[in-house]
Structure 1
Amino acid sequence: MKRLFEQFAVIDWSGEAVARPKGLALAIAERDRRPPVLLRPDGGWSRGAVTDWLREHAQAGTRLLVGLDLSPAFPFLDQGAYFPGWDGSPADAVALWAMVDAMAQDDPHLSVGSLLRHAEMKRHFRLQRDCGDLFPAGRGRLRLCEVGQAAMGLSPYSCFNLVGAAQVGKSSLTGMRTLHRLRGAVPVWPFDPVPDEGPLIVEIYTALAARAALVPKGRSKMRDGASLDAALEAFGTAPHRPLARYDDHATDAILTTAWLRHVADDTHLWNPPGLTPPIARTEGWTFGVM
Structure 2
Amino acid sequence: MNDGEPRFRSFVAIDWSGAKGRRHKGIAVAEARHGSGAPRIIRPDHVWSRTELLDWLFEQAKREPTLFGFDFSFAPPFVERGAYLPGEANVPTNARAFWAYVDHRSDDEDLGAASFLEAVHRPHFYFGIADVDRALMGLGSDPASLLVDPTDHQSDALVTAAGMRALAQDPSSFAPPGLTAQIARTEGWTFGVL
Counterpart pick for 1:266 among 156, 167, 170: 170
Q: Does 1:34 align with 2:37?
A: yes
RMSD (CA atoms):
3.0
Q: Structure 1 length normalisation: TM-score?
A: 0.56
Q: Does 1:103 align with 2:105?
A: yes
Q: Is the 8 A contact 2:72 2:189 kept in 1?
A: no
Aligned to 1:9: 12
Deviation of the 1:235 alpha carbon? 2.9
Deviation of the 1:113 alpha carbon? 4.7
> Gaps spanning 5+ residues in structure 1: where?
127-159, 168-217
SS at match of 2:41: strand
2:102 is aligned with what amino acid? V
CA spacing shift, 1:77–1:251, aligned 2, 3 Å: closer
Deviation of the 1:264 alpha carbon? 1.1
Whole-angstrom CA distance in 1 between matches of 2:132 and 2:78: 37
Deviation of the 1:244 alpha carbon? 5.1
Whole-angstrom CA distance in 1 between matches of 2:133 and 2:29: 18
Counterpart pick for 1:221 among 112, 123, 129: 129
Aligned to 1:46: 49
Deviation of the 1:103 alpha carbon? 2.4
Question: What do the CA deviations read for 1:150-182 (whole angstroms, capped 9, x no partner)?
Answer: xxxxxxxxxx325xxx26xxxxxxxxxxxxxxx
Aligned to 2:77: 75
Q: Is the 8 A contact 1:11 1:253 kept in 2?
A: yes
Counterpart pick for 1:251 among 145, 150, 155: 155
Whole-angstrom CA distance in 2 between matches of 1:79 and 1:234: 32
SS at match of 2:159: helix
Q: Is the 8 A contact 1:20 1:43 kept in 2?
A: no
Q: Structure 2 length normalisation: TM-score?
A: 0.79
2:37 is aligned with what amino acid? R
SS at match of 1:65: strand
1:161 is aligned with what amino acid? P
Q: Is the 8 A contact 2:28 2:44 kept in 1?
A: no
Identity of aligned residues (%): 41
